Amino acid sequence: MLDTPFAASRPRFPAHGIVGVAVIASAEVLLFSGNRVVASWFTPIVWTGYVLFMDALVARLTGRSYLTTARAELVLVALVSIAGWWLFEWYNAPRFWRGGDEATGLWWRYHGLEPNLFLRRVGYDWAFATIFPALFLTAAALRATVFARFRVRPWTPSRKVLVAAVVAGAVSVALPLIVVSQWLVPLVWLGFLLLLEPINARRGRPSWLGDLARGDASRLFALLASGAVCGALWEFWNYWAATKWTYTVPYLGHVKVFEMPILGYLGFPPFALECYAMYHAVRGALAADGDAGPTLI
């Protein structure tokens, strides 16, 4: 989708969307029938199916999608997604980066990992590559439908507010690396958002802050809702997988929905905004002339 919520034409539902549904359904059937290979690789498999389906849905709704009109952008989104989540892993597992075990993360821990280290890395990168595409495709579909005409009174934050946000973001990004504490996980999900979104807006990159200055809240609410939807699905599908993650947060960690402590679900909507800010910071920086061109969301 371009930076407007509608497209001129709505093509047929692409065939890869049917493939995506088949992948999800087959993975579910094989998982619950006891297939150990699918159970171990369930997360990257099922999320690949989800991305295929959502890409086809977005193409049907808007006339544009990663696989139909923006394949080069899909490559960049996937690469930034992998790099972005490895950055979060750095925050989560400082002991691992000092020669420890990645299964002993500070906030989340992995179980049932593939013993072959090469295949384990393939599984990591494959799963991580689906995170940003899933969020952005879900947001694009929601922006084209539920939030298509979501208007608000135009609002532009003052320069002081933007500077304060960037400073707060810089502190939030740095502090969890200096003070290793389970209590600081919210800073990881907010720091890059506060740091990068004002910069993106000031430089004219795709930005929900820039949208709000025009009275358009469709992108903001679509991204927030996308985080909630994908977060629920991440936790639902993770719960049944053989290779999975669990959490060790100190606040209401025993009150869970699936493996996620209930308060943790509040982190998914801002996480989507943070991923969006991170992606467009990278995309904008890579554009030689400062204009990266149209984007899906």
Give pLDDT, residue 273. 98
Give pLDDT, residue 142. 98
In the numeric block, the tokens 């800073």 are attached to 187
Give pLDDT, residue 204. 92
Q: How far apart are the first and last CA of the chain?
A: 6
Give pLDDT, residue 289. 61
In the numeric block, the tokens 């100190």 are attached to 250
CA–CA gap between residue 105 and residue 234 (Å, rounded): 18
Q: Which of 240, 249, 270 is nearest to 105 (CA)?
A: 249
The distance from CA 254 to its chain's CA centroid, rounded to whole angstroms, is 25
Q: How do 108-111 and 260-261 pair as beta strands?
A: unpaired
Beta bridge mates, 109: 246
Q: Is 183 exposed, middle or buried (0-12, 13-18, 19+ CB in 10 A)?
A: exposed
Give pLDDT, residue 49. 98
Tens of pLDDT along the chain (297 residues) come to 444 444 445 678 999 999 999 999 999 999 999 999 999 999 999 999 999 999 999 999 999 999 999 999 999 999 999 999 999 999 998 554 444 445 568 889 999 999 999 999 999 999 999 999 999 999 999 999 999 989 999 999 999 999 999 999 999 999 999 988 889 999 999 999 999 999 999 999 999 999 999 999 999 999 999 999 999 999 999 999 999 999 988 888 789 999 999 999 999 999 999 999 999 999 999 986 656 678 898
Q: Which of 207, 204, 227 is nearest to 217 (CA)?
A: 207
Give pLDDT, residue 15. 97
Amino acid, single-letter form, for residue 257: V
pTM for this entry = 0.93
